Amino acid sequence: MEFEGKCIIFSAPSGAGKTTIVRYLLKKVKSLEFSVSATSREKRDYEVDGHDYHFLSTDIFKNYIKENKFIEWEEVYADNFYGTLKSEIERIWSEKKHVIFDVDVMGGIKLKSIFGDKALSVFVQPPSIQELENRLIGRGSETPETIIRRVGKAEIEMKSASEFDYILINDKLEDAKKEARKTVCNYLEGKDLNSEEKT
């Protein structure tokens, strides 16, 4: 393919705010296009198939794995798969745009290892695990069991933050949005990231 754009990878523990930040960037940075991930989990009431995710049955997802249709995929929980379709990347680059990903932490690490210097990986970090738990409770869409599971997973995921190019602490959302926009634009323009903001 003649045009090969760059990739922006946003990862975070569930509830850290990465999806809100990615949506903000898509409005503000016109050269970005969202890579719609595939998942085998149930669709939430407010989600739209093909826009938020490509919702696939577990059997179809497993067939796609066998057919090598994913750049990367992960079984996040038992029979709960997420993955990046090769066709999404091809679609976005054919439109001469850069890809932005909203993926879980393991997916982000995998994508960075695949795309290397063509990708900027950003870890969105909550100010604390307690604040993350409060945000998950505030969603109103999680059961007590899933909150416990997600918080436990977040504690493990936070240890992987140093594997990302940039750590964005989402304490005040408006500040985090501005910092994300500045960081992404600097990267797309080939400027160095501000080293003092990396930690």
What would the 3-class secondary structure string for the chain be?
Answer: CCCCCCEEEEECCCCCCHHHHHHHHHHHCCCEEECCCEECCCCCCCCCECCCEEECCHHHHHHHHHCCCEEEEEEEECCEEEEEEHHHHHHHHHCCCEEEEEECHHHHHHHHHHHHHHEEEEEEECCCHHHHHHHHHHHCCCCHHHHHHHHHHHHHHHHHHHHCCEEEECCCHHHHHHHHHHHHHHHHCCCCCCHHHCC
Model pLDDT, residue 54: 96
**Among 94, 88, 5, 6, residue whose Cα is nearest residue 39:** 88
Confidence of residue 2 (pLDDT cuts 50, 70, 90): very low
The share of the chain scoring above pLDDT 90, in percent, equals 68
Q: Residue 183 has which token pair?
A: 């960081």
Give the C-alpha separation, 110 to 105, whole Å: 9
Q: How does residue 199 score in pLDDT terms, banded at 50, 70 and 90?
A: very low
Whole-angstrom distance, CA of residue 43 vs CA of residue 52 = 9
Distance CA 103, CA 100 (A): 10
> Which domains does the chain show, CATH number per domain?
7-189 (3.40.50.300)
Taking only the tens place, the pLDDT of each residue in 31-67 is 999 999 999 999 999 999 999 899 999 999 999 999 9
On the question of pLDDT at 105 being above 80, the answer is yes
Residue 28's pLDDT band, with cuts at 50, 70 and 90, is very high
* pLDDT band of 191, cuts 50, 70, 90: confident
pLDDT digits over 166-181, tens only? 999 999 999 999 999 9
For residue 194, the model assigns a pLDDT of 58
- Give yes or no for residue 112 having a pLDDT over 60: yes
Residue 190 has a pLDDT of 86
**Residue 15: its pLDDT value, please?**
83
pTM of the model: 0.84
Quick: pLDDT tens for 140-160: 888 888 899 889 999 999 999
* Euclidean distance between CA atoms 81 and 168, whole angstroms: 26
